[in-house]
Amino acid sequence: MLAIAATLIVDPFVFRLAIFTLACFVGYFVVWSVTPALHTPLMAVTNAISSVIIVGALIAVSAHGVTREFGFIATTLAAVNIFGGFLVTQRMLAMYKKKG
Amino acid sequence: MLAIAATLIVDPFVFRLAIFTLACFVGYFVVWSVTPALHTPLMAVTNAISSVIIVGALIAVSAHGVTREFGFIATTLAAVNIFGGFLVTQRMLAMYKKKG
Amino acid sequence: MTNLAALLYLVSGVLFIQALRGLSSPETARKGNLYGMAGMAIAILTTLAHAHLSFGGTMLVLVALFIGGTAGAVIARRIAMTAMPQLVAAFHSLVGLSAVFVAAAALYSPEVFGIENADGSLHMQSLIELSLGVFIGAVTFSGSVIAFAKLNGNMSGKPIILPKRHIVNLALLGGAAFLVLILVATHGEGSIAHTLFWLLTLVALVFGVLLIIPIGGADMPVVVSMLNSYSGWAAAALGFTLENTALLITGALVGSSGAILSYIMCKGMNRSFISVIMGGFGETAAAAEDDGIERTVKRGAAEDAAFIMKNAGKVIIVPGYGMAVAQAQHALKEMANLLKEEGVEVKYAIHPVAGRMPGHMNVLLAEADVPYDDVFELEDINSEFGSADVAFVIGANDVTNPAAEDDPSSPIYGMPVLKVWEAGTVMFIKRSLGAGYAGIENPLFFRDNTMMLLNDAKKMVEEINKAL
Amino acid sequence: MTNLAALLYLVSGVLFIQALRGLSSPETARKGNLYGMAGMAIAILTTLAHAHLSFGGTMLVLVALFIGGTAGAVIARRIAMTAMPQLVAAFHSLVGLSAVFVAAAALYSPEVFGIENADGSLHMQSLIELSLGVFIGAVTFSGSVIAFAKLNGNMSGKPIILPKRHIVNLALLGGAAFLVLILVATHGEGSIAHTLFWLLTLVALVFGVLLIIPIGGADMPVVVSMLNSYSGWAAAALGFTLENTALLITGALVGSSGAILSYIMCKGMNRSFISVIMGGFGETAAAAEDDGIERTVKRGAAEDAAFIMKNAGKVIIVPGYGMAVAQAQHALKEMANLLKEEGVEVKYAIHPVAGRMPGHMNVLLAEADVPYDDVFELEDINSEFGSADVAFVIGANDVTNPAAEDDPSSPIYGMPVLKVWEAGTVMFIKRSLGAGYAGIENPLFFRDNTMMLLNDAKKMVEEINKAL
Ligand SMILES: NC(=O)c1ccc[n+]([C@@H]2O[C@H](COP(=O)([O-])OP(=O)(O)OC[C@H]3O[C@@H](n4cnc5c(N)ncnc54)[C@H](OP(=O)(O)O)[C@@H]3O)[C@@H](O)[C@H]2O)c1
Ligand SMILES: NC(=O)c1ccc[n+]([C@@H]2O[C@H](COP(=O)([O-])OP(=O)(O)OC[C@H]3O[C@@H](n4cnc5c(N)ncnc54)[C@H](OP(=O)(O)O)[C@@H]3O)[C@@H](O)[C@H]2O)c1
């Protein structure tokens, strides 16, 4: 029984591939739906969210020795981007106003 | 070591949930991108593809006793839909013509 | 092997996405449909390669595919384009029923699906997913059967309002939840689990019937679309149980598609989805109020219409439900050709909810070989009526009613309409001065620049063609 | 715990999708940005809760967040809107470098990421993903640094074409692939693996530099967008290694976004992406050919322009790169207000590649408080020039060049342009009769209904304002 179950277990890589593939579709559609007037904020915000790489950096800090140093540098760099990216986007978006 | 690895294994359900969630986004975008002139073929083709439930029916046929009968009925029903759905879509789409 | 299978199911899901993506324009749609077929073939072949079927099993599958496939192919070839709403409803019922049997199979023989625990029992999670699948599947089945019967005229389209129906429905839902609870407690084992399963199916079947009978026949298109959505969610639920990516993706696609089409229809009619689902529409629709003023109608003959259009510079044709009923699309196309020969510019204007299902008019015009670049959506053509000499309204009514714009008390107030009244002359082909789907009077009939051509749409157009 | 974390990462990914979805209109964009922040907060908190940080580690994280956050916030507040292209390039370089260090951490201490085998070695699959991540990350880093230097003027914008560069690049790619191969053979163990890793990084850094230096400064926007895309793919590759859904989803989103923006820019310029990436543009651009015919230009003064516009019914303003350089947007807005007070209808027409990055003009006009419903995209306004009395072109050139429509030998032939020449009078504000980005002459300058206002854009508009 257990043996059968084991052969039936799918490598999580395949799931990740599915997630990645679908996310590419979502990205394709969602970016085409962005209005051209907001393409500059789009660049800034994608910048900010790509810094979610910080999740790897934070885990690295929990290690020891040089890995921790790598983690520290990576966290700092990503933090510049996160704060800078979201705030500059917010600043830009605050400028877009309707008539009146 | 093995113990640590075991606690780190994510329930595949979560992956499936991610796939489902992203597929909902894809569905949302892809359906809104369908031109209104093709909404009737859209209904027919979604009909056909939802019969991919046939994958469950086929597995059921490989069992014995009443399960196999369930599988047989389900396969037949789904097959009506698959052939009917795709062919009627094809028939409709063949009618849409450009000028000239 | 399982990894490869999982990958192939993903490929199949992606092909289904491409199938829908193709529908964004008529040029790419045919290729899209081929992608869809390829996706289905991959899913089926992957499963067959994976299912360790005995010889007998393989034979059974072939027989099932043969019977089902033949039936499907014959139906697909024979069906009249005007019967598409019924056909779609019928097909949904099959998906729903198929889902019920697949869920039953998973409960009876979890081991072939590889979802049983070591002791042969079922996880709570699997049981819940499975119950959801069978419940939605059964509702889809019985609901679609009723929708089919109403659309096909096997059953009166009149809403059937049972007393205390909301309480009964709630009770059924509560009962279903209770059954699922006990089912989970049995771990899916023994004949008691099987009995509970079929009880749950029964409750769902009844619920599906009760859900649809109070809804008027004319609201059936929204219902069909909603059931389309349900069939998708049922597939997705079973996708969780069977751990199948293709089912998960497809379920989500179909679920979204049905939901969005329902939304588009409701918006096109300016009604809320809830009010449609609650039902009762069509019963309470007040008769057109008689304000006591005698109003005159200018009737015309086919010859008059032919004469005016022959001398027009631009004619916009507005088809509606009546054109579908009368099957007048071929005659209409001929009329357009005759007019074009006279040098008249001819365009078609399609309202999003003209006819009785989304895209209904487009598919009928396509059937009559009208090129799709002559056919325009509401937003693209509404500004052109002002420059048209004739708006030729054939079997349409509500979608041209100016009350939607200027009468806040009208039930269709706020719905976007085609501004046919801005054209030099408006011609209406219909059989009487009666109302359309929404049951309200169209004030255009009594305007000075309106000409009523009272007859069956096909006959009238044929007469016009003779006169041209 | 891990399940909960995986769920939360999914939520964070969905919030990022919502952040981009918000950008479909200015009304929803601010809320979208908040979703994005929430998603990031969830991702960070989930990781912290999960990472078993010691007190020291927590302190380190706080210090890093404080330093980085402060720097980011200060930059975000201080940066001039005209410097956005540089800023975006600079930010990309940080993401790239960050990815390099995360990949290094995963290689040095796979156990904290839970990706090591029982014997402490690394899977081939993980090593390949990780190599991809570090390679793309390093290319993103060094490429973005060059792009930044070119955009910021720290480096000449002239393309630097090295001899045999394609062969060198191919050799570098081959070398990188070879390094990855040996790295896989080491199972990621020992200092040899570390050395290989840093060698790979070095190769990628050099490759990134060589990739960007041959591309002219003016093509940098496409490059920045391409690097944006790369940073996304790097994140996705590490998402596979670290088995993190949020990274996977975000990587795919950012990767698609950059790719699509590059595509939009190339299409707007009517050039192929390959020709941009191959570089050399700007160097070979032929000087405007002198056809020997003496042509006359009608120059005007601010007073003339003010007089004509005051008496116009409708003025369409076409801003371009020169407006950004001169920072003339505030003066322009004032001019529009003065004209509106005179009863003139004023609209803005934006070409998709006006300026030097997508949406560049929109953000500058927004900065000057121009309401966005006065601002129109090319497709929406191009038919209106015929009914406008004045087309007021300020610092734009290529995007109004009729050669794109009627001269098949022109390098911009086929690019969609704003048909300013259909307006009664066309006014050009620029400093000379010189060419724009594409290096070609604009025949409009010599037409009868054109008036050239030769001066810095800001000074000229201020003079016009005085005259109004
Ligand atoms: N498309 C959808 O998805 C959808 C879904 C649900 C509801 N609806 C509703 O359906 C309506 C569609 O509007 P519509 O303007 O197309 O149709 P309509 O308002 O229902 O009017 C159809 C008209 O056609 C006439 N007619 C019927 N049979 C005819 C025949 N054989 N020859 C000539 N005329 C005939 C009828 O008048 P006589 O009886 O006088 O001949 C009737 O007034 C809207 O109210 C919409 O909300 C549409
Ligand atoms: N937006 C994007 O994403 C993007 C990306 C890559 C490339 N591009 C390219 O950039 C170009 C954009 O077209 P465009 O029409 O906006 O700009 P352009 O064709 O580059 O012309 C800008 C004009 O502004 C004038 N100018 C410069 N500084 C000025 C100042 N201080 N005051 C007044 N005028 C000044 C220049 O003429 P003088 O020197 O005579 O003053 C120049 O002719 C297109 O060719 C496009 O392909 C755009």
- Dihedral over alpha carbons B15, B21, B26, B31 (to 10 degrees): 140
In the numeric block, which tokens belong to residue C39? 């996706």
Inter-CA distances, D70 with A69, A82, D36, D58, Å: 20, 11, 19, 18
Query: What is the predicted pLDDT for the residue at C413?
Result: 81
> In chain C, which residue's Cα lies nearest the Cα of B93?
C30
For residue B64, pLDDT beyond 90:
no
pLDDT at D19: 96
Between positions 16 and 45 of B, the ones with CB within 8 A of D are 17-18, 21-22, 25
Average model confidence (pLDDT) across chain B? 88
Alpha carbon D271 to chain centroid, angstroms: 17
pLDDT beneath 50, residues of chain A: 1-7
Sequence-ordered list of residues with C-beta below 8 angstroms from that of A58, at least 6 positions apart, any chain = A71, A75, D44, D47, D48, D51, D53, D61
Set of chain A residues whose Cβ sits within 8 Å of the Cβ of C7 = 14, 17
Domain, as residue range, for A28? 2-95
Tally: H helices and E strands in chain B: 5, 0
Please say whether the beta carbons of B37 and C375 come within 8 A. yes
Asked if C315 and C341 touch (Cβ cutoff 8 Å), the reply is no
Does the beta carbon of C261 sit less than 6 angstroms from any atom of ligand 1?
Answer: no
Q: Which of C82, C353, C400 is the pocket-test mutation for ligand 1 (most atoms within 8 Å of CB)? A: C353
**C-beta of residue C398 within 8 angstroms of C-beta of residue C322:** no
* Model pLDDT, residue D113: 87
Residue of B nearest to A17 (CA): B19
End-to-end Cα distance, chain C = 69
**Does the annotation mark C398 as catalytic?**
yes
- Indicate the residue type of C93: S
Say if ligand 1 is within 6 A of residue C281 CB.
no
Q: What is the pLDDT of residues C281-326, one digit of tens each?
A: 544 444 444 455 557 888 888 899 999 999 999 999 999 989 988 8
Burial D395-405 (b: 16+ CB within 10 A, else e): bbbbbbbbbbb
Point out the ligand 1 atom lying closest to the alpha carbon of residue C354: 16
- What digits encode the pLDDT tens for the residues C18-45? 999 999 999 999 999 999 999 999 999 9
A59, part of any domain: yes
pLDDT single digits (tens) A74-96: 999 999 999 999 999 999 999 88
**Residue B1 — very low, low, confident or very high, per pLDDT cuts 50/70/90?**
very low
From the list D369, D398, D406, D407, the catalytic residue is D398
Cβ–Cβ < 8 Å for C52, B61 = no
Distance between CA atoms of residues D197 and D109, nearest Å: 13
Q: What is the pLDDT of residue C291?
A: 52
Q: How much is the ipTM here?
A: 0.89
CA of C296 to the centre of ligand 1 (A): 23
Which residues in chain A are closer than 8 Å to B18, comparing Cβ atoms?
Answer: 15, 19
* C225-265 per-position pLDDT tens digit: 999 999 999 999 999 988 899 999 999 999 999 999 999 88
Two structure tokens written together for D394: 């300020």
The H or E element spanning position D393 is: strand D390-394
Sheet architecture: strand order including C450-454: C375-377, C345-350, C314-319, C390-394, C425-430, C450-454
Indicate if ligand 2 lies below 6 Å from the C-beta of D431: yes
Q: What are phi and psi of D326, to 5 degrees?
A: -80, -5
Place of tokens 């032929």: D286
Q: Is the CB of D151 under 6 A from ligand 2?
A: no
Judge if pTM exceeds 0.80.
yes
Which contiguous run of DSSP H or E holds residue C33?
A: helix C26-50
Using CA atoms, how far apart are residues C241 and C87, in angstroms rounded to an integer? 29
Mean predicted confidence (pLDDT) in C270-280: 75
Whether the per-residue pLDDT at B7 is higher than 50: the answer is no
**Sequence-ordered list of residues with C-beta below 8 angstroms from that of D337, at least 6 positions apart, any chain:** none
pLDDT of residue C308: 92
B48 domain residue, yes or no: yes
Taking each helix axis as running N to C, give the angle between helix D302-310 and helix D457-467, from 0 to 180 degrees, rounded to the nearest 10: 60
Range A6-10, long-range pairs (CB < 8 A, 24+ positions): A7/C1, A7/C2, A8/C2, A8/C114, A9/C2, A10/B12, A10/C2, A10/C3, A10/C6, A10/C243
Q: Given a cut of 80, is residue B5 above it in pLDDT?
A: no
Strand-strand pairing, D425-430 and D375-377: unpaired
pLDDT at residue C83 is higher than 90: no
- CA dist., res. D14 & res. B1, Å (int): 33
B14 reaches C (C-beta below 8 A): no
Mutate to test the interface with B, among A16, A20, A29, A30 (most CBs of B within 10 A): A29
Q: Which stretches in chain D have pLDDT values below 70? A: 1, 279-294
In a domain, B83, yes or no: yes
To the nearest 5 percent, what fractions of chain B are helix, strand and coil? 85, 0, 15
Q: Whose CA is nearest to atom 35 of ligand 1?
A: C322
How many CB atoms are located within 10 Å of the residue C408 CB? 8
* Within-domain flag for A41: yes
Tell me the C-alpha distance between C263 and C246, whole Å: 26
Percent of residues, chain C, with pLDDT higher than 70: 96
Total domains in chain A come to 1
Pocket test for ligand 2, best of D397, D413, D429, D442 (most atoms within 8 A of CB): D397
Q: Tell me which chain A residues have a C-beta less than 8 angstroms from the C-beta of C6.
A: 10-11, 14-15, 18
- Is the CB of C456 within 6 Å of ligand 1? yes
Q: Assess if residue B41 is contained within a domain.
A: yes
CA A40 to chain centroid, in Å, comes to 18
* Residue C230: how many other CB atoms lie within 10 Å: 29
DSSP A62: T
The DSSP-derived string for C120-164 is S-B-HHHHHHHHHHHHHHHHHHHHHHHHHHHHHTSS--S----TT
pLDDT in the model for residue C120 = 75
What backbone torsions phi and psi does residue D390 show, to the nearest 5 degrees?
-130, 135
Report chain A residues touching chain B, CB-CB < 8 A.
10, 12, 15-16, 18-19, 22-23, 25-26, 29-30, 33
Instruction: Give the separation between CA C257 and CA C178, rounded to whole angstroms.
Output: 31
Question: Cβ contacts of residue C468 below 8 Å, gap of 6+?
Answer: C306, C309, C310, C335, C338, C339, C342
The yes-or-no verdict on residue C358 having pLDDT over 70 is: yes
What pairs with residue C316 in β-bridges?
A: C347, C391
Ramachandran quadrant class, D359 (left: phi over 0; alpha: psi -120 to 50; beta: rest): left
Asked if B76 and C242 come within 8 Å (Cβ–Cβ), the reply is no
- What is the DSSP code (8-state) at residue C371? B
Q: Is residue B100 part of a domain?
A: no
Report the greatest alpha carbon distance in chain C. Answer: 84
- Ligand 2 centroid to Cα of residue D418, in Å, is 14
What's the gap in Å between D198 CA and the centre of ligand 1? 72
Residue A100: inside a domain: no
d(CA D139, CA D131): 12
Q: Which residues of B touch A (CB under 8 A)?
A: 10, 12, 15-16, 18-19, 22-23, 25-26, 29-30, 33
What's the rounded Cα separation, in Å, for the pair B52 and C63?
Answer: 18
